[in-house]
A and B are shown apart, each in its own frame.
Chain A
Amino acid sequence: DTAVSQTPKYLVTQMGNDKSIKCEQNLGHDTMYWYKQDSKKFLKIMFSYNNKELIINETVPNRFSPKSPDKAHLNLHINSLELGDSAVYFCASSQVGAGVIDTQYFGPGTRLTVL
């Protein structure tokens, strides 16, 4: 059973298009995340939701919009795609409580290529 799954695994699209990446976790966690890993392998957090509430919103273009319909799902929608959006996007989940150290479980990643 896959703990954190993402679809699609690969996404190739043209500049200016709008696309979505879906993420689902079956671990019963209450917090989910989106990370971007660039070509130099730097991992940077983009968003985090706790119980469907946005708790982390890093400096990300507003073309990126996360949506969490329920605790088990966190989708990422990207409008007007640009070349610089090409990267691998990772979804993760964890069980977070105030002051509690959490372990994040990552999905397999979605490789987005913008042409």
Chain B
Amino acid sequence: LAKTTQPISMDSYEGQEVNITCSHNNIATNDYITWYQQFPSQGPRFIIQGYKTKVTNEVASLFIPADRKSSTLSLPRVSLSDTAVYYCLVGSTSGTYKYIFGTGTRLKVLA
């Protein structure tokens, strides 16, 4: 069974760029990578999604190397409100449906 691991926690200061990495060594060809953000007492919320190379949207960038065994979520210029737990998800809807969440990274943004 694929294992998806992340650093347990990270601290950063306001205005800095934060990079959170997820390791998914057993990723399969049909799997894609999604990142979610979760605030206390709320459900996870979609941030960004990709399959390979680089994806950017209005809130984040996602970097996926050629071997796809890891991925990095990049949050530019974080603010206090970005303090949350960030999860990567390795999933597939081709053939066998599969959704495996990473262990989660607790990001604390300091003033």
Contact = CB atoms under 8 A, between A and B. Distances in A.
Tell me if chain B binds chain A.
yes
The 6 closest A-B pairs by CB, nearest first: A106-B43, A43-B101, A99-B94, A103-B46, A45-B99, A101-B32
B43 A42 contact: no
Interface string B81-111: 0000101000101100111110110000000
B101 to A, nearest CB: 4
Interface of A: 4, 33, 35, 41-45, 48, 50, 55-56, 90, 92, 96-109
Nearest to A94: B93
Nearest to B42: A108
15 contacts: A35-B101, A41-B104, A43-B87, A45-B99, A50-B97, A56-B99, A90-B43, A92-B43, A97-B93, A99-B94, A103-B46, A104-B46, A105-B46, A106-B43, A108-B41
Interface string B62-85: 000000000000000000000001
- Is chain B's binding surface mostly helix, strand, loop or mixed? strand
A6 B41 CA distance: 13
A96 B101 contact: no
Contacts of B99: 33, 45, 48, 56, 104
Contact of A56 (B34, B46, B97): B97
B61 interface: no
A43 to B, nearest CB: 4
B36 to A, nearest CB: 8
A42 B93 contact: no
Contacts of A48: 97, 99
A107 to B, nearest CB: 5
A90 B97 CA distance: 18
